[in-house]
Structure 1
């Protein structure tokens, strides 16, 4: 599998997991248990992973000459819960096709 696509996929999975932790663990802890530090920590981690995903997306755009629509697709996947997991399946199919052909 292409190294850059694999890095993009792993960044997407990490970002997606951090987003779900932020939404379904940290935010309930903040509002139900009065623990705002949970959002501070999870939010900071998620922000870092989001930026990391965007860096890999820009690198992939340059290397594979992706159209802007493809980049918009990655951004939309990153801001939708579970979106990066759908994106991962699509990128895996693309990487497999690169290996086959």
Structure 2
């Protein structure tokens, strides 16, 4: 599960940075200065990267046995600027704590 968490963390950061570039630089250039080049290029990159983010979030959620609601909320976090960073920290803390609990749990005794 550590590899799935690492993949999720990397793509969450990449998607977050690209979304911020799109919103903070691309949108003002397009609507304020009539220059859509950043939106056209970064927007397509974000669309592709967001699909990769969805796959990574789904993979992690299945491995961690998350409920459907948590999985959907984490997937939606990639659509709001800055939220993917917050979600990445929460998910990392949660998964790490759950892993620690599993490792420290006593082994069941076969009868």
TM range (shorter): 0.7 to 0.9
Cα offset, 1:29, TM superposition: 1.1
Does the 8 A contact of 1:15 with 1:78 survive in 2?
yes
Q: Which TM-score applies when normalising by structure 2?
A: 0.81
Which whole-Å deviations, capped at 9, do the CAs of 1:24-64 have from their partners, x for residues lacking one? 00111112222112100010111011101001112122222
Greater Cα shift, 69-78 or 13-22: 69-78
* Runs of 5+ consecutive residues of structure 2 not aligned to the other structure: 104-111
Higher relative contact order by CA 8 Å / sep ≥ 6: 1 or 2? Answer: 1
- Residues in 2 aligned to 1:22 and 1:95: alpha-carbon distance in whole angstroms: 30
Which whole-Å deviations, capped at 9, do the CAs of 1:43-93 have from their partners, x for residues lacking one? 011101110100111212222222101111112311222111111111221
Cα offset, 1:99, TM superposition: 4.6
Match of 1:74 in 2: 74
Match of 2:51 in 1: 51
Largest Rg, 1 or 2: 2
Aligned residues: 101
Match of 1:20 in 2: 20
Does the 8 A contact of 2:64 with 2:95 survive in 1?
no
Identify if the C-alpha distance between structure 1 residues 83 and 13 changes in structure 2 by more than 3 Å, giving closer, same or farther.
same
- The structure that is helix-richer by fraction is 1
- Residues in 2 aligned to 1:74 and 1:86: alpha-carbon distance in whole angstroms: 10
